[in-house]
Amino acid sequence: MLRDDQYWQAVQTRDSSADGTFFVAVKTTGIYCRPSCKSRMPKRTNVVFFQLPALAEAAGFRACKRCRPRDVALPDARAELVEAVCAHIHTQDAESLTLAGISAAVGYDASHVADVFKAVMGVTPHQYHDAQRIARFKTLLRAGVSVTDAIYAAGYSSTSRVYERSDSALGMTPATYRKGGAGAQIAFTGKASPFGVLVIAATDRGICHVGLYDDDQAGAAGVRAEYPQAQITRADADLVHLADRVLDHVLRGAPL
C-alpha cells in the first residue's frame, strides 16, 4: 500500500496510472476525485485519501462531476465487491434491505459478502446503510428542511423510528439539531490518533459528533460549525474514555 506522501505525489503529477488505486478528497469543497483530476490543485492540508469511493462517501464527500471517480475501474476484486454492495444499498430502504437480497444482487454467497464488506468497511451492510441515512437526515435538517419532510426524504418509513433513536443518532431531538443545537450544552474532547485528532462531542443525551481533524483547533471549529447555537465546552476528563473506546474499536476491533 502506498504512503500518504506517495499519494500526494501522484496527485501533484496528476498520475492517471494511480486512478482506481486511491481517491483524493478535499475538505474545503466536500468533493472527492481521481488522482488525475484536472480540477484546481488543492492545498495539502485540505486533502485526505480514501481507498474506495464508498469510504469517501461514508465520510460525507461527493463524487466530482468533472473526473467522475465512480466510473474508474478498481484493481482489487474485494473493492469491486464492496462498491457493488454499496451501489445496491443506495437503492434500498431499510425495510427491504436483507443480506440475502444484497448477495443475490451482487452474485456472491451471503457469508462472503458479509465477511468482505466488514473487513473493508469496518461495519456491516446494515450499519453502513443506517449511517448513510442518518447523514442524509442531518444534511436535510441543516439545510432548513422541516423535521417531518427530512425524515421521509432520508428514507425513514415513520417518524416514530427517528424519535426513538434520536438520542443515539443525534444526541438531541431532531428539532434541536435543525436549530443548530439551540439550547443544548455540548462537551467535547480531542485525542491524537494515527489518522489525526479524533474529536468526540456529546450532550447529556448521547454522542452528537465524531470526526477526524488535523489538530485540536480544527476539531473545535468543526463542532462549533455543526452546532453554532449550542453552548460548547471542552471536557477531556469526562469524555476521554469514549475516545479511547472508539480508537480501540478502530485499531484493534474491540467492541464499542
Annotated catalytic sites, by residue?
Answer: 33, 37, 64, 67
How far apart, in Å, do the first and last CA atoms of the chain sit?
A: 28
Enter the C-alpha cell of residue 224.
462549533
Rg of the chain, C-alpha, whole Å? 19
Residue 219 burial class via C-beta count within 10 angstroms: exposed 0-12, middle 13-18, buried 19 and up? buried
Residue 210's SS3 state is strand
Vertex 103: Cα angle to 34 and 132 (nearest 5): 50
In DSSP terms, which residues pair with 201 in a beta bridge? 188, 209
C-alpha 112/C-alpha 78 separation (Å) is 10
